[in-house]
Structure 1
Amino acid sequence: MTPDVLAALQAAQVAKRPVALLTRLSDGEQCLWPDKALPGALAETAQAALRDDAAQNVTLDGEAWFVHPHNPPLRMIVVGAVHIAQALVPMAQTTGFAVTVVDPRRAWATADRFPGITLVHEWTDDAMVVLAPDSRTAVVTLTHDPKLDDPALDVALKSDAFYIGALGSRRTHAKRVARLAELGHAEAAMGRIHAPVGLNIAAVTASEIALSILAEVVAARRGAALGGPAPLRPRPPRHDLRAYPAGRGARRRPRTYHPAAGPRAEEGHGAGPGGDRRAAAGRPWQRHRRPARAPATCRRMRPRTAWPMR
């Protein structure tokens, strides 16, 4: 590596600017993209390496190249030191994000609640300007307070953050969009906000909501196409017995009676002497039914649903 290429690479790392280092394997010549213009196919390969954050080998026009991406570290800025943030922060750290929690309420943003995490107690807009979100930064607002969320979103929408999410219902977000429109943001820019934040997994607890948020952040970073919920399979009518499989656990066929059992078999009695349980044909067409119990006449007696012990 020449001193000029090394100096340019170090300057890009200090400025937290993503660059790709391309090395021609035949003679060792190196260059940085996008600092240097490259042919279309080679530039697309460098862009894909930066997007996927993975090195690649490519051969173009008979020349073998090694593409090494140098991306800034992944960051997540969480606005609001709330219960959801307490669950989200350790998950994001495990995924590889350097997390910063912004909350001017010092009673909430404490080292006891967020051990080992960078805490910023400045007002949200001032903190966001200093943090300067880039293309490797995700911004999540969780305070549910317009005085804290709106200034942070105002700065985030002017940045290159790859993910912007805001906690709140659709009605709350509609009011938020109206306020941001008054600040001069276009409808296309406000469409970058993921609200309600997180994937729709019917999350209820703080940990489940944090999980849905992190899943949506990873999906946005990887460019995953998130589809809607799977359609429910229509259930066949209850009378259509052919729609249910045979075997154990299947629906039983409707009870039928042999014609030789006589008219009393339809009333639930056997056709033999003394009300035998089997029909005259000698087959168990009709299962024995326990006779209904007489109604209780005393309050101390057992409920009607209880059968006497034998």
Structure 2
Amino acid sequence: MDLFDDIPKTALEWHRAGKGAALATVVETWGSAPRRVGSQLAISGEAEIEGSVSGGCVEGAVVAEALDAIEEGRSVMLEYGVSDGDAFAVGLACGGTIRVLVEPVGSVMPEDLLADLVLAREARVPVAYVSGPGGRRLEREGHEGRFRMDRSGFEEDGETFVAIHNPPLRMIVVGAVHIAQALVPMARIAGYDPILIDPRESFASEARFPGETVLHDWPDEGLRALGLDLRTALVLLTHDPKLDDPALIEALRSDVFYIGALGSTRTHAKRVERLTEAGFSEAEIGRIHGPIGLDIGAAGPSEIAVSVLAEMTRVLRKGA
């Protein structure tokens, strides 16, 4: 999925309100299609829409087909070619082809299944919506590669489609330092929801981080309150053991996909000693990326932020 949205929830609400609803999902693309596989459009029986399957190129045609599908209680597979002219209008250099699966809620997509999907998304639980010859179901296991890559698509049989619904990415930064001032806006552009934790209010101020979510908690308390999961990256920038170590202890007991800690090689060696004395194994401590960031010869806060975001991306997409 792209940035997190409420499209399935909207479809469910329209259905329960008696309007009728359908979900249209991009299931396959060729060429420079405007929207990636897994993108969705919700359509109500009153022609209300939310979301997009083509950036505006073919939405009108999809809505017309969806209204018929809702009335007739059947699913339909649509295929459209997006012309070069239409593609240019939505910011692409050339056109492409998309296939869109339209599934009315209730008659085709079971209401209780859609409700479970909505609940899973709200609870930040990664889930796959599987549609094929074996029916429709939700699966939380067996699609690790797809979850990691946010990659919806057909299975090898060419008939079973897997739509990945991942929670939005989060980046929790401990330490409202200069690097954080560069990293937070970069991460937001990259699709992360950034949160800052720093009990030092002079550092974590509105003036230094305008409009950002800032918690003035002790790091371990803040992390427990937020909750840690597979779609969370933790970035430690204080290189102060009083602040970093409590956060590291929480993180190493969780399944966050990335842990990075600022500091020199010598600083990290001392960190390893402290964590070993605290009872953590070599494998557990090995999850920490320290010194933080890819070695790109970064100089200054902004370049260090680039190296951190690059390392987070590599771990997210390729694994540790």
TM bucket, shorter chain: 0.5 to 0.7
- Given the alignment of the two structures, is residue 68 of structure 1 paired with residue 176 of structure 2, yes or no? no
Please tell me the residue identity of whatever aligns with 2:121: Q
* 1:17 counterpart (120, 125, 128): 125
How far the C-alpha of 1:116 sits from its partner, in A, is: 1.6
How far the C-alpha of 1:3 sits from its partner, in A, is: 2.3
Query: CA–CA distance in 2 between the matches of 1:2 and 1:183?
Result: 50
More strand by share: 2
- Given the alignment of the two structures, is residue 49 of structure 1 paired with residue 146 of structure 2, yes or no? yes
SS in 1 for 2:228: coil
Residue of structure 2 in register with 1:289 after alignment: none
Residues 117, 149 of structure 1: alpha-carbon distance in 2 compared, 3 angstrom cutoff: same
Q: How many residues of Structure 1 are paired with residues of Structure 2 in the alignment?
A: 212
Query: CA–CA distance in 2 between the matches of 1:221 and 1:47?
Result: 12
Report runs of 4+ in structure 1 exceeding 3 Å deviation.
none
Question: Does structure 2 conserve the Cα–Cα contact (< 8 Å) formed by 1:22 and 1:67?
Answer: yes
Q: Which runs of 5 or more structure 2 residues have no equivalent in the other structure? A: 1-108
How far the C-alpha of 1:224 sits from its partner, in A, is: 6.6
Residue of structure 2 in register with 1:6 after alignment: 114
Residue of structure 2 in register with 1:30 after alignment: 136
SS in 2 for 1:12: helix
Question: Does structure 2 conserve the Cα–Cα contact (< 8 Å) formed by 1:82 and 1:108?
Answer: yes
TM-score (norm 2): 0.64
Matches within 5 A, 1:75-224: 75-223=170-318
Question: Does structure 2 conserve the Cα–Cα contact (< 8 Å) formed by 1:18 and 1:50?
Answer: yes
Q: Deviations over 1:136-180 (max 9, x none)?
A: 111010011110000011101111111000000111111111111
How far the C-alpha of 1:111 sits from its partner, in A, is: 1.2
CA RMSD of aligned residues (A): 1.6
Q: Which runs of 5 or more structure 1 residues have no equivalent in the other structure? A: 36-42, 226-310
Question: Does structure 2 conserve the Cα–Cα contact (< 8 Å) formed by 1:132 and 1:159?
Answer: no
Q: Which has the larger radius of gyration?
A: 1
Please tell me the residue identity of whatever aligns with 1:54: R
How far the C-alpha of 1:48 sits from its partner, in A, is: 2.7
Question: Does structure 2 conserve the Cα–Cα contact (< 8 Å) formed by 1:198 and 1:209?
Answer: yes
SS in 2 for 1:113: coil
How far the C-alpha of 1:58 sits from its partner, in A, is: 2.4
Query: CA–CA distance in 1 between the matches of 2:296 and 2:149?
Result: 26
Higher RCO (CA 8 Å, separation ≥ 6 residues): 2
Query: CA–CA distance in 2 between the matches of 1:168 and 1:23?
Result: 48
SS in 1 for 2:119: helix
Please tell me the residue identity of whatever aligns with 1:19: V
Q: Deviations over 1:87-109 (max 9, x none)?
A: 10011000000000000000110
Identity %: 53
Please tell me the residue identity of whatever aligns with 1:5: L
Query: CA–CA distance in 1 between the matches of 2:286 and 2:155?
Result: 36
